[in-house]
Amino acid sequence: MSVFTGVAIYITVWWTVLFAVLPWGVQSHHDAGINLGDGGDPGAPVNPNLKRKFITTTWVSGIVWVLIWAVIHFHLITLPSLPSGY
């Protein structure tokens, strides 16, 4: 795996993990019983904890990336022979 491919895979994994981590521990204004008045979204999180979620996303993505690298490097999963024509 080249450096460019490794970085591209890591960025893709990072974004995928971020969207999986974002809803963890979120409490909306509606769930907390906070009235925002006019113009506020009751589904918006009270405290999104984005810094903590970015850090969690980074280390989880690192673990997933190492697993992907190991699968590719050690040929743990191989693709079947693809037909050369239609």
Q: Note the pLDDT of residue 36.
A: 79
Residue 1: per-residue pLDDT: 80
Q: What is the pTM of this model?
A: 0.78
Helices (H) and strands (E) in the chain, counts: 3, 0
Contact criterion met (CB below 8 Å) for 14 and 58: yes
pLDDT digits (tens, 9 = 90+) for 39-67: 788 888 888 999 999 999 999 999 999 99
Each domain of the chain, given as residue ranges in start order, spans 3-73
pLDDT above 90 for 31: no
Average per-residue pLDDT for the chain: 88
**Widest CA span in the chain:** 64
Band the pLDDT of 83: cuts 50, 70, 90. low
Other CB atoms within 10 Å distance of the CB of residue 57: 21
